[in-house]
Structure 1
Amino acid sequence: MIEEILITNGKKMIQTYQSTSSADLIPFMQNVSGISGTLLQLYNKDSKPLLEEKKGLLHVDRSNIERVLAGNIVRNIDMGEHHVSHNAHISHFPIVGVPFQVEGKPYALFLTVEKNPVEDEIMNSVHVMYIIILFFGSLLILIAARYIVNPILRLTEATKRMAKGTFDFELHTKRKDEIGLLTVSFNEMAKELSKLERMRQDFVSNVSHEIQSPLTSISGFTKALKQKKMSEESRLRYLTIIEEESERLSRLSQNLLQLSYLQQEHHPLKVNTYRLDEQLRRVVISLEPQWREKEIQIDVQLEAITIQADEDQLNQVWINLLSNSIKFTPAHGKILIEAVMKENQTIVSITDNGIGIPEEERADIFKPFHKVDKARNSSVKGNGLGLSIVKKIIDIHNGDIQVSGSPGEGSTFKVILPR
């Protein structure tokens, strides 16, 4: 401990002095004070200091001086209660007192450690460095907080806008971290929601159009039938149109109900095992009036295939696809129907030589009410829901449907079902 070292040093100083017979006490102690970082103060029997004050020489309470003069060694005198000078050089080290006698006179020698100026400079530098580190650390924390918080605030604001129905915006970011990925995902979500919103608006518009058109025809021809002067031929023609438009409304209603049913999250499948090639032949036969009326040649090339699937739903798929081909194939055209097994997959292809589908339209033809014929030619019957129903049924069966072909050269619908 420091106290013991100081006491040992004090005793050695006293022994050194006593072994030097020609040395004077006060000059000797004065010269020794400050050597090796030790500060001294010497008191006589009257408790008066005998050494000059320099570098903040220590001062000790009279009670401690008297204890040492009485022959006691005093350890660890508290320096924080005005027992010493207020000089900072000695304000952190203990004081010890050692008694000795010279020519029968009692003296009290007090020692403490002088603080090294180099250590002061080092400590001051360390303190300054701590302050600098604290300042820059706080600054970096603020910058990092802003770097993290600002994008989150932007995302929060964008979420509020999205909650109000605004989706046509994009948050720009160059970040590659998790927040950057979150921003990119948020932008993708906004785009998808924007598409859904446009689809919803288009859906409402298309439903309104598909319903309003036959209703207008029915209303108009019904008013015409009220006229008394009308030939039997005109009356029958008007009634036929009303009947066709009523059937059109009925088909639209049925398709909407079926599409809504298929879009249920937990749609049940009534799976059974049956021959797919026989099902396709029955569909061709059931649609014979349509393709025979246009004198279309049907080429059927079917392998004997047994599958497990929902027979009623797939029957709807083949009816819709073949009806579409017949609808858009010109008179005296040709339709090829193929069914093969490849690598544990059942592949059914329906190819026609009709008007074809432009490449830019292929991604949208499975959307509800989408029609390649933008003018909605009334000569081509349909409400744009057939392919949407087909796509949904294929998805439910974990299959895929692909479209190929060129405008004016026909098109091919390929249905791929897992075995």
Structure 2
Amino acid sequence: MSNTTATTEQLADLSATTLLRFATAGSVDDGKSTLVGRLLHDSKSVLSDQLEAVERVSASRGADAPDLALLTDGLRAEREQGITIDVAYRYFATARRRFILADTPGHVQYTRNMVTGASTADLAVVLVDARNGVIEQTRRHAAVAALLRVPHVVLAVNKMDLVAYEERVFAEIAEEFTAYARELGVPEITAIPISALAGDNVVEPSSNMDWYGGPTVLEHLETVPVSHDLTSCHARLPVQYVIRPQTAEHPDYRGYAGQIAAGTFRVGESVTVLPSGRTSKITGIDLLGKAVDVAWTPQSITLLLEDDIDISRGDLIVPSGDTPPTTQDIEATVCHVADTPLNVGQRVLLKHTTRTVKAIVKEIPSRLTLDDLSQHPEPGRLVANDIGRVKVRTAEPLALDSYADSRRTGSFLLIDPADGTTLAAGMAGEAFATAAEEAALAPDDEGWDF
């Protein structure tokens, strides 16, 4: 069977992807669904039968024009209440780029859904009602985007038609939001005045705002630089399954299957298996039933190794020269997404890539106050939609990258062991531990107090 070899030039071509993942966020009634509907409609990404269905429903409600928000608010409860509840994913394309869009809820109760929608986004569109300006939920969405390290943020100041398209209103909101987002560390902010209902500056430039000379929303989405540099990432393969077919054709076959979380792997490369620290060499890579010489994220592959090593689901295979530290003490920032609080001393499960281990919340050092970005020390607990720092001790060592280095292998979930509810989404920061703490946190017979 011949091998397929990928050159450096081919990998570079993959880095210049034409796919943009972006999420929308904003407060209730700021017009997110209308903006998304306008994008789909004006970019001719709506099928005729979909548009006809929207027109029928809109007419039955006595509306003079199609309610474009109905293109994304697909749940019956959403349509009846007139709000977005679930994350609505839409796929569309223009001549310049393909898009995966996550329309996230605006109600404070559903802030947790924004974490889901923005976790893989390259860009976040934060909507603000021009009449209301920057409010607490706007700051919360900016904080989540910064925390999840979304590299590009668009401030869409919507409903400009309701403030007579005044430049002063837009400028004041843009200045306030930009200052706040920069304090959070958002690297790039682009402010655009729009009217999603009327279509101003969404796909076509607005004749009502000749004072604005920047791009429309779609023009910015089509041209914003997105870098997926596959050659320079930390290569990581979380093992999902060990394959041993035991057939007459392959009696000694043992492969380690999973989706590459980041980077590239090559035949002949020396690798280390974590957390055991055992080393070996890649002798083969199987991709879709064929042997290849090189594979890269996000391909799902099977690795064959030179040595017979004890490897199981949850182990992490990495290049031997690029191994993250293993630790049982994790300090991280989390977004609390459950209705039940997260308390100091609480027993949880921690899920990192394909590995799930027991853990205890040892400390909650601070909670973020969104108004002034100050830290409220030692809150003792986090409740729904809180953002805070936690210190967690795990029963087994984990190999976490810093979230700043890898959004895939630097993130984790805290889970309620009683019913499997997701409690919080975490972004790993600096690990911590002292000898005294290690001795004090020795495991007991129940296997929890470690």
Shorter-chain-normalised TM-score: which range? Answer: under 0.3
Higher RCO (Cα < 8 Å, 6 or more apart) = 2
Larger % of strand: which? Answer: 2
Using the size of structure 2 for normalisation, the TM-score is 0.20
Using the size of structure 1 for normalisation, the TM-score is 0.21
